[in-house]
Structure 1
Amino acid sequence: MKLTLRLSILAIFSAFFMTTTAAGQTDAQADAAAVAATAGLPSAAGAPKPGWRNQFGAGYIANPKFVGSDEYNTRVIPYIELRYFDESGTRFFANVPQGIGGYAYRKRERASGRFFNVGASLAPGFNVRDDSIDGLDEIGISTEARLLLETGGRRWAASAVFAQDVGSGHEGAYVDLNLSWRGRVGAGSGFYAVGPVLRFGDSTYKDAFFGVSPEDSIETGLPAYDADAGVERVGVQGLVSLPIKKSRWRFTAILRGSQLIDNAAASPIVVDETQFFFLSAVTRSF
């Protein structure tokens, strides 16, 4: 089964815009906010003047063939992002991992760097299942309605994403919780971020990926299994993003390791409870 990149992960394809002027440094902060937001690391950094800042690039990813697989797919993927900034940070966005959305409420304290955002989006859900396991139905790309809650300061950020499938994918709901600490790498615009990630799923979501119905049991030979609501996985995610010399190009890499737990780990579908994801990307700001 092919499991594409989770919504908070494809995101790191964004890049800093590197200049040496004061205005350019503010532009770089706006691009840093785009990198952070699409990686699930919210930021309230604003732009020197309202407008769109666009990101284009390509990446290489390695991720499990299905949730619980011990085999990995590798592929090259493109990325395009459109993001509208004002002095309070991101107002609207459109990209593959986050979908199309914006923020209805934003509070920003310039002195302390503290912020709190409330937003929403309609986005694709890329947790899918193909026909790799004979007898189990495929799960296609879902269409998810999401509520976004974000807070943080200059060196840390936290977010909660509440997602409900409104299409024909997993048909369930889940919550992603992320916490990260950030810092600079070198004297330029390089930065790193690291922190824990956690996902909860309702019974519909968990059964879609980990359950085996009595009918499926007959078809597959696997024991029947119900996956109740609860924690799906816990893990640690880290990323590093570096400018490529003094250009608008940037290199970004991310590595996530997570552990399936509770009834997700006990599913007869699961081969390996430990799951890894890796992505590297080169992007440019326009």
Structure 2
Amino acid sequence: MSRIALPRVFAGATRAPKPPADLAECADTWRQTGFVLGDEVEHVVAGLRLEGEHATAAAGSRFRTPAVASAMGPWSRSWLARLQALHAMEWGDYSSAVLLVRGAADFLAAACSLLESGGAEWSEWLAGGGVQLAPAEHATEFRLHPFRSAETLARRPGLGEVYRAASDLSLPHLGATALVTASESNPERYAATFGDRDFHVGMAELVLGWLLQLGMEAWQAVRDAGDRLPPPPEGVERWVADAQRMLARADRCRMERVEHGGEPRMLVVNWRREPRSAPKRILL
């Protein structure tokens, strides 16, 4: 392949629309999310808009390089996954939001890795027939070429922590499923639910915290890329400072790594369904 086309950029980002009336529980969650956590929701949207602005600048002919072209794909997938995770969270679909956050972290790690290497593996993939004709099948072939970025996740602690925490809740582990679908359980009573989309401030704060952290990681990747990418747009430093302030709230729900019984575990702190409820601690 001898030519890299200019990317087409679709940079719009908004809050989730209000759910229809026949999804009353979603509508109530959407309303409560905006009332209790509206500043954080708007901050995530503002960060995604800034990233969209930066992607538009990076699509210019000056930056038509293998490094940028290779990173644009996973960066786009991370950006869209974060936007849809926000929308899922606003409608009370916390289970899907967690899955989307995990994917967003993985895609962002891939984008970081490709930027750091100048798109080396992507260029090798293209040179080895990554995109070619498949005459026998009357098709165009896109060879899958598995690509993971475990080293990037290990090298960037903030990014790796989001990936690992979201992964713990994304898999069908029994304890993770209980946390997401039966969080009111105790040793005497298992409180199962199906399709629960009621507002849960703990789950919402977890998802928003991860989205804020991933936004910060994206801007760190832009800074690390140097002149391979345009400089961050005006307002990014203020956005990062405000995100750090939001993440530092002592009363927000978060997951911490602890050692229990000689093995590493995750501890969820400040877990509560309603803002006025007494916070709990959940050991996973």
Q: By the TM > 0.5 criterion, same fold?
A: no
Using the size of structure 2 for normalisation, the TM-score is: 0.29
When you count helix as a share of all residues, which structure comes out higher?
Answer: 2
Mark the structure with the bigger radius of gyration: 2
When you count strand as a share of all residues, which structure comes out higher?
Answer: 1
Using the size of structure 1 for normalisation, the TM-score is: 0.29
